[in-house]
Structure 1
Amino acid sequence: MKKTTVFIADDHPVLRRGIKAIFPPNEYEVVGEADNGMAALKGIAELRPDIAILDITMPDLDGIAVTRRAVEEFPETRIIILSMHADLSRPLEAFRAGALGYVLKDSEPGELLKAVEKVRTGSKYASPAVTEEILNDFVEVIKKEQSHDPFDTLSGREKEVLKHIADGSTSKEIAEKLFISLATVKSHRNNIMKKLKVSDMASLIKIAIRKGMVHPD
């Protein structure tokens, strides 16, 4: 069985030794190491490893920059980023650059091995803390979308037209009051109905009342 080849790039020798120690020698072979980004890129070019584990912050060229170039030039090498940062911006930056894995440095050693096993099959992997950040952000986006009020999308002029409609003014009267053409009033009315997702005047008036634009008799 062919061993999975691994390249490690980190500017801390102790950390590199620790990473090397987690790989079962019957399945993996660490074929090279680097202590800066330029050396990492050169090593990947020469050795073409199956997996490259890159520190996100390295001298000369950071892990994200190395990832972008490696993915473009050596797509057969799959990248895992090592980082101290769990905040959402850095993992997203890494994945956009083409990394398949993002592992926090304070994770248990077994987690990096788990990431490598996932990534070597072409799957993506992120540390649980990072996954939680991504899910939390997704939930917040959903909440905002659900709480979005279509009324807030109306322009100032559209709100004026809606108020006059709710007051009982005809389209001709609204045109005269606002010094606009009858066609413009009709266009505003159609846009208002489209934005508020209603199909009749009674529904429009109910919304205006609910928003305090007019008061029912």
Structure 2
Amino acid sequence: MTRVVVVDDQALVRQGISGLLEVAEIDVVGEADDGQAALDTIAATAPDVVLLDVRMPRYDGIWTLERLRESGSAVPVLVLTTFDDDAAVLDALRAGARGYLLKDVTLEQLTRAVRTLAEGGTLIAPTITDRLLRAIRSGPPPPGADAPVEDLTERELEVLRLMAEGCSNREISEILFLAEGTVKNRVSTILLKLGARDRTNAVLRALHEGILR
């Protein structure tokens, strides 16, 4: 079973999400009500995915993401937010979140998102708004944007587009009829050429540079 930590400052929301995930056979191994508690819980439970609220008192979601990045943690984080939090979501993606969902999603959408991140995928393109796209292209460049961008091959662009759609390496290999190891190598090359530290940052950089439209 996929192991999840749920982070939200509202106990009722936290308990509701946890209960629904358990029904869907996703193992909730911990809960936290702010960023510091989240870091402690993540360290103690080693989850496959973290569900993280952005707006929390004291230590919020962005602070938590930045601390996870500084510690070298590779745990994928799915941000849960409200409709009008585009700026916060963009900050979260730049801080290392692997995707986001609105809090009014269905249980099916939530469980699919959790499993996608657990398998190495991202969730950006399916739900990203026009405002977010404009903010990415007109706002400050993502981390690593001072590095030169090398040209991507046509096959690397195909892989990058599927990364932006949230596909995991396994899904990309099935779509493009490539070995999963080959896809992993191509993803590594894409990160190197874009000067990106991870898949999410690579997609943000590609959007900012106009490589993805």
TM-score (norm 2): 0.56
Give the number of equivalent residue pairs: 139
- CA 1:94–1:26: 2 relative to 1, 3 Å: closer
Q: Is the 8 A contact 2:90 2:136 kept in 1?
A: no
- CA 1:74–1:51: 2 relative to 1, 3 Å: farther
Bigger radius of gyration: 1
2:103 to 99, 102, 105: 105
2:92 to 91, 94, 99: 94
- Deviation larger for 132-141 or 78-87: 132-141
The CA deviation string for residues 176-204 of structure 1, in whole angstroms up to 9 with x for no partner, is xxxxxxxxxxxxxxxxxxxxxxxxxxxxx
Percent identity of equivalent pairs: 37
In structure 2, distance between residues paired with 1:132 and 1:21: 33
In structure 2, distance between residues paired with 1:47 and 1:87: 29
Query: Is 1:123 matched up with 2:121?
Result: yes
SS in 2 for 1:18: helix
**What is the RMSD computed on CA atoms of the aligned residues?**
2.7
In structure 2, distance between residues paired with 1:67 and 1:118: 19
1:60 maps to: 58
In the alignment, structure 1 segments of 5+ residues that lack a partner are 142-217
In structure 2, distance between residues paired with 1:139 and 1:94: 16
2:163 maps to: none
Q: Is the 8 A contact 1:53 1:80 kept in 2?
A: yes
TM-score (norm 1): 0.55
1:51 maps to: 49
1:69 to 67, 70, 77: 67
In structure 2, distance between residues paired with 1:68 and 1:139: 22
Deviation at 1:127, TM superposition (A): 8.2
In structure 1, distance between residues paired with 2:8 and 2:136: 32
SS in 2 for 1:111: helix
Deviation at 1:46, TM superposition (A): 1.6
In structure 2, distance between residues paired with 1:140 and 1:72: 26
Q: Is the 8 A contact 2:49 2:114 kept in 1?
A: yes
1:202 maps to: none
2:29 maps to: 31
In the alignment, structure 2 segments of 5+ residues that lack a partner are 140-213
Q: Is the 8 A contact 1:7 1:30 kept in 2?
A: yes
The CA deviation string for residues 97-149 of structure 1, in whole angstroms up to 9 with x for no partner, is 000021111223332222212211222114855344445668999xxxxxxxx
Give the letter aligned to residue 112 of structure 1: L
Matches of residues 1-217 of structure 1 in structure 2 within 5 Å?
A: 3-23=1-21, 27-73=25-71, 75-126=73-124, 129-135=127-133
